[in-house]
Every structure is written in structure tokens, then in C-alpha cells.
């Protein structure tokens, strides 16, 4: 075998090995993306807990300063870290909130996200229980994340 044909044989093996790796990664990525997600609840309640918006279980809700039109700009990896408050139907205002400011908007993935005062509402994955505010003031995905006051504005202290 000449040096040239030996080199081509090695390149062919390397390319074939690379193709197997790429195929394996694609399959793993596809499997992760197609995992079933839990359906959003039929209704959600937004209430005031400890001076800021929370869901019916007391989990803190945040707004994202990059959302400027009432529609979420947080999708995919962002939404994994900052899960949206989604519903299949109604959003109910708890005590101390203006029901007229509570609506839903359509997300990129087809779900409906609760909004308050035209701000899409999110949880923070780092909050593991009620009343936690670990996401307050975090700068991630191009803008800051803030808790929401009962008027529907960002609480920009404490972060």
C-alpha cells in the first residue's frame, strides 16, 4: 500500500468515526427535545405574597425586562431556567390584584402564559419553595429579572 492510499484509508476511518459521533449526538439531542412535558393547569391564581406577585402555592413570580410587548422573549434554554406561568384556561386574580391587568399571551410553543400589567410572568428554577426570591435582580439572557409588585411594576430593590 502506498503512503497516499494509507493516508486516505486513515482519513476515511476518521470521517466514518466522526459521522458516528455526530449521529449519536443528534439522536441524544432529539430524544431530549421530544420528552413529554406536563400539560399546563386548567386555571391558575395570581396573588400577593410578601409584597410581590406569586402563584396559588406562594411561589414568587418575576418579569423579564427584555419582554417589551406583552409577549415572552424567553424560550428554550431561557424558559428552562425561568419557567413561564402557563395555563390552559383562566387566570384568576387573588386578593389585592387588579383583575383587569391579568391576561394571557400566546407563547412560541403554543402555550398560554399569564401576564400582569402587560408583563409575562415567570418562575425562577432556583426558587425551590414558597416565598423564595433567589431570582431577584438576576441579569440573564440579555436583561434583568425582577419581582412584580401589586401594581404590576418591577421591584428593583434587593437584587
Place of cell 428552562: 80
The pLDDT value recorded for residue 90 is 86
Length of the chain: 159
19 sits in which H/E element: helix 3-33
- Helix, strand or coil, per DSSP, at residue 7: helix
β-strand 119-120 against 112-116: which pairing, if any? antiparallel
Tell me the pLDDT tens digit for each residue of 113-154. 999 999 999 999 999 999 999 999 999 999 999 999 999 999
Residue 14: is its pLDDT beyond 90? no
Residue 20: is its pLDDT beyond 70? no
Please, which residues have CB within 8 angstroms of residue 111's CB and are 6 or more apart in sequence? 40, 84, 86
What number is the average pLDDT over the span 99-115?
A: 95
Place of cell 411594576: 153
Residue 72: is its pLDDT beyond 50? yes
pLDDT band at 22 (very low <50, low <70, confident <90, very high): very low
- Please, what's the b/e burial string for 40-72 (b: 16 or more CB within 10 A of its CB; e: otherwise)? beeebbbbbbeebbbbeeebbbbbbeebeeeeb
| Phi and psi at residue 78, to the nearest 5° | -60, -50
Residue 30: is its pLDDT beyond 50? no
What number is the average pLDDT over the span 110-115?
A: 95
**Domain segments of the chain as ranges:** 1-35, 43-155
Alpha-carbon distance of 158 to 143, in angstroms, equals 16
Amino acid at each position: 500500500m502506498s503512503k497516499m492510499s494509507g493516508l486516505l484509508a486513515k482519513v476515511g476511518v476518521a470521517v466514518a468515526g466522526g459521522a458516528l459521533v455526530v449521529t449519536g449526538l443528534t439522536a441524544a439531542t432529539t430524544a431530549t427535545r421530544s420528552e413529554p412535558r406536563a400539560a399546563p393547569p386548567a386555571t391558575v391564581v395570581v396573588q400577593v405574597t410578601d409584597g410581590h406577585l406569586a402563584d396559588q402555592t406562594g411561589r414568587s413570580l418575576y418579569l423579564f425586562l427584555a419582554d417589551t410587548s406583552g409577549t415572552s422573549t424567553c424560550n428554550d434554554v431561557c424558559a428552562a431556567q425561568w419557567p413561564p406561568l402557563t395555563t390552559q384556561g383562566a387566570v384568576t386574580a387573588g386578593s389585592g390584584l387588579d383583575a383587569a391587568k391579568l391576561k394571557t399571551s400566546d407563547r412560541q410553543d403554543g402555550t398560554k402564559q399569564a401576564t400582569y400589567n402587560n408583563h409575562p410572568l415567570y418562575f425562577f428554577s432556583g426558587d425551590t419553595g414558597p416565598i423564595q426570591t433567589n431570582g431577584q435582580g438576576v441579569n440573564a439572557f440579555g436583561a434583568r429579572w425582577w419581582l412584580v409588585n401589586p401594581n404590576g411594576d418591577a421591584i428593583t430593590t434587593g437584587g
